[in-house]
Structure 1
């Protein structure tokens, strides 16, 4: 296992649409392991493969709340099947947009289908933090960032801030 670099806004790779995974290979398993290690080190609760510059439809997540307890989850080719009309608001952050948090409104419940790392297909209903996180990470696979849900003013402000930081870091 290895910790990978997380790409940061304004990196244009974050806007790529990730490709479906045809077959779960040793390389995909190794990528999932690296993503979990990277996510825990960051620390974060979710990570999409595109955030470590791998444009494939793979997500890792761990929503365990107790200190020292883990519940790692791996989602291959996740897709949202349905969403509730009811909405909820959560404060979201993103490992690719460090130290920036905003409230985002999303469907309160979703039904999701995914394949686990062993090739078994699952369908689950998600609500609360799980619903928010799975939507956030699937958005990454589709080149969408949580800042895209903000007002144009807020979105422009955060883009300007991270573009300036990237310019300064490149010097």
Structure 2
């Protein structure tokens, strides 16, 4: 439908804990279409409603190995594996910057689909990493908070110079 303006770091809206979605209506479906259009224009592989200034628990992933975009409403991680791996991460709200972040390899999570039906699934690989990253965003945790203080300071200096 419409590419929306992206909120850029250090906008304080990226630090807010998002409200759960309670209305599963056409406005929610329109929001997810706007998120997909915005994500593809960015470009990126994951986006949340807060990235476009909407304080709701909505995640959309458009992963290279998937046939279609994945939409998660009110997602919550219920289990994290002890096995961890570092992966390069970045954000459409902080373009041009990335750094290795350690995350669990496998997760279990629950979410609601666009029609209000609840699901529980496991994810691993890129899907697991992206879900952890985006659910952090819904919880007001911007990805650079997962870095050491020294690495975060260096990254922020680099970002200011871009």
| TM-score category, normalised to shorter length | over 0.9
User: Structure 2: 5+ residue runs without aligned partners?
Assistant: none
TM-score, normalised via structure 2 length? 0.94
Counterpart selection for 1:110 from 107, 113, 117: 107
- Contact between 2:97 and 2:159, CA under 8 Å: does it hold in 1? no
For residues 72-151 of structure 1, the aligned pairs below 5 Å read 72-151=69-148
Q: Tell me how far apart the structure 2 counterparts of residues 2 and 121 of structure 1 sit (CA, whole Å).
A: 28
Q: Which residue of structure 2 aligns with residue 30 of structure 1?
A: 30
2: CA distance, partners of 1:160 / 1:102: 13
1-structure distance, mates of 2:157, 2:7: 17
Whole-Å separation in 2 of the counterparts to 1:16 and 1:140:
8
Offset at residue 159 of structure 1 (A): 3.2
The ranges of structure 1 where at least 4 consecutive aligned residues each deviate by more than 2 angstroms after the TM superposition are 156-165
Query: What is the match of residue 15 of structure 1?
Result: 15
Aligned-partner SS, 1:27 = helix
Using the size of structure 1 for normalisation, the TM-score is: 0.89
State the shift of 1:119 in Å.
1.7
How far apart, CA to CA, are the structure 2 residues paired with 1:163 and 1:101? 14
Q: CA RMSD in A?
A: 1.5
Gaps of 5+ in 1: 166-171
